[in-house]
Structure 1
């Protein structure tokens, strides 16, 4: 489940896609974690649910940090470019790069929103399947 570490934020979309495989496979993972009563003796649902929850939170933290880091970098570049805009307003290449950087910031904002939706959906499914076996610690703990 290790995602490739980007050398820069240029390939963040592919990196996030690789990091989101746990969410893509959550139903499968939950079905393994919460077997039917006839298979419960072979599998400990509490342990599986607890481990899955730990993995989910770890990947959420990693992805959130990556998105924030890349968004901060892009905003920094954009701010620097906006500071140069008065002198380079007539330079078409500069204006193209400025628009590109603005698009990059919007793309990263969209990734943050997508991340929030994915997290919500996965945790909802997790709660539905594991609620009888494992209760995650509250946010304040």
Structure 2
């Protein structure tokens, strides 16, 4: 259930979003996952809800950390390109191609940065659902 180790293409925002979408599948499917792994009262003795909630907690935590690292890595990469293009543009103010590249990269950087906000919303929703369903079965060491 861990996030795929796909490589993010930070220069192509649509491809970047596609990879993030795949990495967010654990969060998108959390309600279904919890309905599947948390037993009803009649099946409580057949499934170790403590262990399944613990495993889900670890998977969620790992997925969230990995996505945040990937997004921040792309932000750093894009910021470096913006700074480099700014320097080049300052040396050659008449170069319209450089201006277009700079604007395109600045837009890309803003879009990537906005994914941190999306990530926060996705993570908050997942932790809320997790806590609602697993709170009686498992208490995480450091509750998010």
Provide the TM-score with structure 2 as the length reference: 0.90
Match of 2:60 in 1: 56
Q: Which moved more, 1:111-120 or 1:8-17?
A: 8-17
CA distance in 1, matches of 2:44, 2:93: 68
Match of 1:65 in 2: 69
Structural mapping, 1:53-132, within 5 Å:
53-132=57-136
Gaps of 5+ in 1: none
Contact 1:45 1:133 in 2 (8 A): yes
- Across the two proteins, how many residue pairs are aligned to each other? 139
RMSD of aligned residue pairs (Cα, Å): 1.5
Match of 2:7 in 1: 6
1:40-89 CA-to-partner distances (Å, cap 9, x unmatched) read 12211111100000000011111011001111000011011111222232
Gaps of 5+ in 2: none
CA distance in 2, matches of 1:123, 1:14: 23
Contact 1:71 1:105 in 2 (8 A): yes
